[in-house]
Amino acid sequence: MTRIERSPGRWVTTLLMVLLLSAMAAVGIGTAAEEEKSPIEGLTRAEALELGERMYRDGLLPNGEPMRAFVQQDIEVEGTMFSCESCHVRSGMGSIEGTVITLPTCGSWLYKPLQGAEMKAESQARVPSRLDPPPFRPAYTDESLARVIRRGKDPNDRVLNYVMPRYLVGGTDLDILVYYLKNLSSQWSPGVDDTTIRFATVVGPGVNDVDRTAMLGALEAHIADHNSQTRHEERRAKGGPFYKEEKYAPYRRYSLSVWELEGATDTWPQQLEAYYGKEPVFALIGGITSDGWAPIHEFCERNQLPSLFPITDFPVISDSNWYTLYFSKGYYQEGDTAARFLRRAKGIDADVPVVQVHRGDRVGLFLASGFRDARQSMSLPPAVEVELASETEVDAAFWKKLAAANPGAVLVVWLGAGDLESLEVLAAADPRPPMVLASSTQMGDAVTSLPTTIRGFTFLTKPDSFPEEEVRSRLATESWLKAKGLPTTNFEIQAKMYFLGWTLAPMVKMMRDDFYRDYFFDIVDMMRDQYYAIAVFPRLSFGPGQRYASKGCYIVQLTGGEEPKLEKRSNWVVH
């Protein structure tokens, strides 16, 4: 059964209650947690776990020095090259890459014996004794865990493959790492109980009804689809064959709450905390705002709450944040690609001056920021920046003056179609700009109004696929929408939510009953490249820590004639 909870508009009252409770809890937890002891002498539990996490994730000893180890018997490595997390992943649940399987190293797996399969005791009793395999590994103890880290011998005295580093670590440092592993993924994450996994989706203020309905309609249809199997799945979970219990028993129905945000973005964190305090969810799925995603992104980082595929063109750009997986870098990606395309353009040297023009609105700032950062990362000289006030009129005189002040410069113009109509004057400029770069997304449907005389040297960013190249995936999405009785209202949003739902169920299933949020994203990270179910990008790809699934953006040109078309001038990914 789908549970949709809409905001009653009484969030202020709830918020006050939650804040009060949080304040009370903070005092309690503050003293209790800080004083909670760990088995490590002189360290509280929180301190020991923090130091252990640094060893596990960053490969750094408590004194800040890199951990040292040997792989393949005679190759010395430092923790700054790679760490435990590199192979055993963030959750400690292990990974599979090609023929190399890395087993779990988290407390919930290490400290129990490994049998042939995971079964309840009563099911185990049903297995004929002749089929009952002996445990292939008894439970680790603190001592045997320390030994396998140092010497690579498991509790059965088996020697692990030398791909597993033998760490030169001992004493308190080793105790800290063992303590961390013992506690890693040792308890289910919030948002899951015996019957249900709870999800939420965030809707920001000011989102128009069409977009909101497009997003919610597709998500709700996926949730309903999943839950329609509940009776069958629960029967299989209870009475299925014992050898498939591991697969069937973890079945959970889904619930979806809608977290409606109101007011200014600086009030969103409190609203989100209030919702979360009232109902901790396992993950956020989808979601849509018209004011960017940063407050929600930061909320998710703080609470270690996965946020999967929000609808936004304004993601937070970070190469270290973990908990939000975006479809793409949005407008930032367009700016980035423009800079890389320009660098590779034949006949335009790196020292040719570049002028970047944009307004101070969110779209202009994101595009400009992507372009600026990419040039910096490529060690190219910065562009001359021209940020226009919202009231500045952009006409022929403006362009003439700009070209005269920057003769021979490449113009990067992150402006709407209305501002670009007067660009026509540049066709006759002497010298004419060698190249003009703009965003087809920012120009929207009016892109075809780009003056004919400048199309030959004007290049546009296009961060999505060509519909005619995605016939099969578009058909799949349209057929699904039709089957669910959902009219096509905003195809881009609906296609994205179709993809989300298409991947959500198998990812949850792969967790089996290891319901850890970090494992959820570890599984996403190991997903293969996706082509079939995504209709608005040529493909999506994933990898450990990669948080923008679409990596590309075309550079296109508008053809001439009565019915101009966009034609590719680059590959999907430009380095």
Residues in contact with another protein by the rule CB under 8 A: 71-78, 80-82, 86-87, 89, 95-103, 116-117, 127-128, 131, 133, 136-137, 154, 158-164, 241-244, 340, 343, 377-378, 526-529, 541, 543-546, 551-552, 571-573, 575
- Minimum CB distance to another protein smaller for 392 or for 546: 546
- Cβ neighbour number for residue 358 with a 10 Å cutoff: 24
| Residue 173 to residue 159: CA distance in whole angstroms | 23
Instruction: Please report how close the Cβ of residue 328 comes to another protein at its closest, in angstroms.
Output: 12
Instruction: Please report how close the Cβ of residue 323 comes to another protein at its closest, in angstroms.
Output: 17
The side-by-side arrangement of strands in the sheet containing 307-308 is 253-260, 196-203, 283-285, 307-308, 324-325
Give the list of residues 6+ apart from residue 21 with CB closer than 8 angstroms, or none: 277
- Minimum CB distance to another protein smaller for 229 or for 546: 546
CA dihedral 379, 380, 384, 385 (to 10 degrees): -50
Q: How far is CA 316 from CA 124, 306, 334, in A?
A: 48, 14, 15
- Minimum CB distance to another protein smaller for 100 or for 210: 100
Of the candidates 327, 194, 291, 203, the one whose C-alpha atom is nearest the C-alpha of residue 250 is 194
What single-letter amino acid sits at 363?
V
- Minimum CB distance to another protein smaller for 97 or for 361: 97
- Minimum CB distance to another protein smaller for 161 or for 228: 161
Instruction: Please report how close the Cβ of residue 92 comes to another protein at its closest, in angstroms.
Output: 13
- Minimum CB distance to another protein smaller for 277 or for 545: 545
- Minimum CB distance to another protein smaller for 19 or for 573: 573
- Minimum CB distance to another protein smaller for 407 or for 543: 543
Residue 11 phi, psi (nearest 5)? -65, -25
- Minimum CB distance to another protein smaller for 228 or for 546: 546
Q: Which residues pair with 44 in a beta bridge?
A: 37
- Minimum CB distance to another protein smaller for 350 or for 405: 350
> Angle of helix 471-483 relative to helix 491-510, nearest 10 degrees?
80
Instruction: Please report how close the Cβ of residue 352 comes to another protein at its closest, in angstroms.
Output: 17
Q: Which residues pair with 153 in a beta bridge?
A: 159
Give the list of residues 6+ apart from residue 61 with CB closer than 8 angstroms, or none: 55, 67, 79, 169, 173
- N- to C-terminal Cα separation, the chain: 47
| Residue 204 to residue 295: CA distance in whole angstroms | 11
Q: How many CA atoms lie within 13 A of 89 on its CB side?
A: 26
Instruction: Please report how close the Cβ of residue 322 comes to another protein at its closest, in angstroms.
Output: 13
Of the candidates 180, 182, 173, the one whose C-alpha atom is nearest the C-alpha of residue 69 is 173
User: Do the beta carbons of residue 99 and residue 93 sit within 8 Å?
Assistant: no
| Residue 80 to residue 45: CA distance in whole angstroms | 25
- Minimum CB distance to another protein smaller for 58 or for 291: 58
Place of tokens 């309903």: 224
What is the enclosing helix (H) or strand (E) of 145? helix 142-151
Whether omega for the bond prior to residue 451 falls within 30 degrees of 0, making it cis, is: no
Instruction: Please report how close the Cβ of residue 88 comes to another protein at its closest, in angstroms.
Output: 8
Tokens of 408: 């021979």
DSSP 325: E
Instruction: Please report how close the Cβ of residue 241 comes to another protein at its closest, in angstroms.
Output: 6
Of the candidates 514, 500, 44, the one whose C-alpha atom is nearest the C-alpha of residue 308 is 500
Instruction: Please report how close the Cβ of residue 95 comes to another protein at its closest, in angstroms.
Output: 5
- Minimum CB distance to another protein smaller for 13 or for 161: 161
Instruction: Please report how close the Cβ of residue 383 comes to another protein at its closest, in angstroms.
Output: 18
Instruction: Please report how close the Cβ of residue 512 comes to another protein at its closest, in angstroms.
Output: 14
User: Do the beta carbons of residue 285 and residue 500 sit within 8 Å?
Assistant: yes
| Residue 451 to residue 138: CA distance in whole angstroms | 74
- Minimum CB distance to another protein smaller for 77 or for 294: 77
Instruction: Please report how close the Cβ of residue 324 comes to another protein at its closest, in angstroms.
Output: 17
Q: Which residues pair with 288 in a beta bridge?
A: 203, 311
Instruction: Please report how close the Cβ of residue 455 comes to another protein at its closest, in angstroms.
Output: 26
Tokens of 38: 């760990």
